[in-house]
């Protein structure tokens, strides 16, 4: 373990790098680096405070980089030393990208490597770090956002004796559901989001149709050289699950067309904005493992693509509003996104794999004694409340705050309030 400490106003930051096994079942074989940043309030860095591990959403996203002493971190460092974990493959933790996978000789080798980047391996890394940083017998608390909540629930299933408290924001996972059932529910929520979007911005119905028609009739290239197809344009709905998502997409669309040398064309501003929202170059894990995070003894077989056929609302039609899609990954993305193309064969192998181990133990969760406080966002487009409520009912003595006041990004949008309330719930103050 190596460590470096620096400061920003109000916070002391200590960077830690750990070398852990790629496969924890084979600890003496290949290893990777895992990075974590400890955050403490200025003046409390040496205090004997409990530790709070933060698990980011994803899969495939690094932990937040503190810029100021604000949000949920500001509330958390009043009571804890916080550890921001770059989950394996993200950020400074031996990053997993098309570049780092290129040296592997075959798609099969890539696929076998990628199998080691789900929640089970992330939790094993966390346990490795806990022992190295705090000692074998020490306990710590966990805050899991979105997919980080999936990881936290797995943690409760395999190592509850090392946990003091668990906080989950928008991330109570389906325990046993098949991806097909999950996507059937999720597509219905995405339809509702589209209806709300067009109710807020009715003029965008015609505007969106015009953009889609232009894309169908012309070869439009993004700044990277990728073609922007109508179905790729349709993926902008991924943002609809955030509290500011409608506005972000609306403002992007209103600058779509300009008068160019050859007539009306799509603006560079618009194309650059689309590309920014659809960047898979830094986090291919999100695309490659998105369906695999739900798999336990069965293959996904491109679940989102298959289930989409049950929802004609998403068909591209000139006589109906174009409905944007949400947090779904499709096999054609590994053809149209240049940074995913090198991973197409590996992605196909993973989609066909039915040997994924179980991630959750309902029996252990029903016997749980660790204080658990969680938020369920009623209108959550990414983690359906229907399954979240079932999971909450399974975890013994868990306390749940169900609200439609916030969207999935609540921890980022109003983190001091969100984490403060969960802390009160876990401590029996609510």
Query: How many angstroms separate the CA atoms of 248 and 244, rounded?
Result: 6
The answer to whether the CB of 327 falls within 8 A of the CB of 379 is: no
The per-residue pLDDT for 281 is 80
Residue 355, helix vs strand vs coil? coil
Q: And the tokens for 304? A: 């989102």
CB proximity list for 97: less than 8 A, separation 6 or greater:
281, 282, 284, 339
Calculate what percentage of the chain has a pLDDT beyond 90: 94
Q: In the predicted model, what is the mean pLDDT of residues 65-81?
A: 97
- Is 380 in the active site? yes
Residue 35 DSSP symbol: E
- Is 180 in the active site? no
pLDDT at 282 over 80: no
Q: Residue 396 half-sphere exposure, CB side, CA atoms within 13 Å?
A: 13
The answer to whether the CB of 169 falls within 8 A of the CB of 144 is: yes
The reply to whether CATH 3.40.50.1820 applies to domain 2-175+360-426 is yes
Q: In the predicted model, what is the mean pLDDT of residues 392-407?
A: 97
pLDDT at 319 over 90: no
Calculate what percentage of the chain has a pLDDT beyond 70: 100
**Which is nearest to 121 in space by CA: 83, 94, 161?**
94
Cα 91–chain centre separation: 14
The per-residue pLDDT for 140 is 98
The per-residue pLDDT for 66 is 97
Rounded to the nearest 10 degrees, how much is the dihedral formed by the CA atoms of 383, 384, 385, 391? -70
The per-residue pLDDT for 101 is 86
Q: What does each C-alpha distance from 56 to 27, 85, 132, 147, 336 come to in angstroms?
A: 25, 8, 21, 7, 28
The per-residue pLDDT for 409 is 97
The answer to whether the CB of 328 falls within 8 A of the CB of 304 is: yes
Q: Residue 82 half-sphere exposure, CB side, CA atoms within 13 Å?
A: 28
Q: Give me the residues paired with residue 85 across strands.
A: 36
Q: What is the mean pLDDT of the chain?
A: 96
- Is 146 in the active site? yes
- Residue 58: pLDDT band (50, 70, 90) is very high
Q: And the tokens for 192? A: 């509702």
pLDDT at 97 over 90: no
Query: How many angstroms separate the CA atoms of 225 and 219, rounded?
Result: 11
**Which is nearest to 155 in space by CA: 127, 191, 178?**
127
Query: How many angstroms separate the CA atoms of 138 and 161, rounded?
Result: 10
Q: Please give the helix or strand (H or E) that residue 127 lies within, else none.
A: helix 119-134
Which of 40, 93, 141, 146 is an active site residue? 146
Residues of the chain with CATH 3.40.50.1820: 2-175+360-426
Which of 120, 226, 353, 380 is an active site residue? 380
């Amino acid at each position: 373990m190596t460590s470096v400490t620096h400061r920003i106003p109000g916070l002391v930051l200590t960077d830690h790098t750990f070398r852990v096994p790629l496969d924890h079942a084979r600890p003496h074989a290949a290893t990777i680096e895992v990075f974590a940043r400890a955050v403490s309030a200025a003046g409390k860095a040496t205090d004997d405070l409990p530790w709070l591990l933060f698990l980011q959403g994803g899969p495939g996203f690094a932990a937040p980089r503190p810029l100021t002493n604000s949000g949920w971190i500001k509330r958390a460092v009043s009571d804890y030393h916080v550890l921001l974990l770059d989950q394996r493959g993200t950020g400074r933790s031996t990053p997993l990208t098309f570049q780092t996978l290129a040296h592997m000789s075959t798609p099969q080798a890539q696929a076998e490597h990628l199998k080691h980047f789900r929640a089970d391996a992330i939790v094993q890394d966390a346990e490795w770090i806990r022992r190295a940083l705090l000692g074998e017998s020490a306990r710590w608390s966990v805050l899991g956002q979105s997919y980080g909540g999936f990881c936290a629930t797995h943690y409760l299933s395999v190592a509850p004796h090392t946990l003091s408290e668990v906080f989950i924001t928008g991330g109570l996972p389906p325990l046993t559901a098949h991806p097909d059932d999950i996507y059937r529910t999720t597509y219905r929520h995405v339809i509702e989001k589209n209806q709300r979007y067009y109710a807020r911005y009715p003029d965008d119905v015609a505007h969106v149709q015009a953009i889609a028609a232009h894309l169908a009739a012309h070869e439009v290239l993004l700044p990277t050289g990728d073609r922007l197809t109508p179905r790729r344009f349709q993926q902008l709905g991924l943002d609809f699950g955030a509290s500011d998502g409608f506005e972000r997409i609306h403002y992007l669309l209103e600058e779509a067309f300009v008068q160019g040398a050859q007539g009306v064309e799509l603006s560079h501003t618009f194309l650059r904005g689309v590309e920014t929202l659809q960047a898979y170059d830094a986090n291919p894990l999100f695309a490659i493992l998105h369906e695999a995070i739900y798999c336990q003894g069965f293959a996904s077989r491109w679940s989102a693509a298959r289930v989409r056929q049950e929802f004609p609302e998403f068909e591209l039609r000139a006589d109906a509003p174009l409905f944007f899609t949400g947090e779904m990954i499709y096999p054609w993305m590994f053809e149209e996104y240049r940074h995913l193309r090198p991973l197409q064969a590996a992605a196909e192998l993973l989609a066909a794999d039915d040997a994924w181990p179980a991630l959750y133990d309902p029996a252990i969760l029903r016997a749980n004694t660790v204080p658990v406080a969680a938020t369920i966002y009623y209108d959550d487009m990414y983690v359906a409340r229907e399954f979240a409520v079932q999971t909450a009912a399974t975890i013994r003595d868990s306390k749940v705050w169900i609200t439609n006041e916030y969207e999935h990004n609540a921890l980022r949008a109003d983190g001091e309030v969100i984490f403060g309330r969960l802390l009160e719930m876990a401590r029996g103050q609510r």
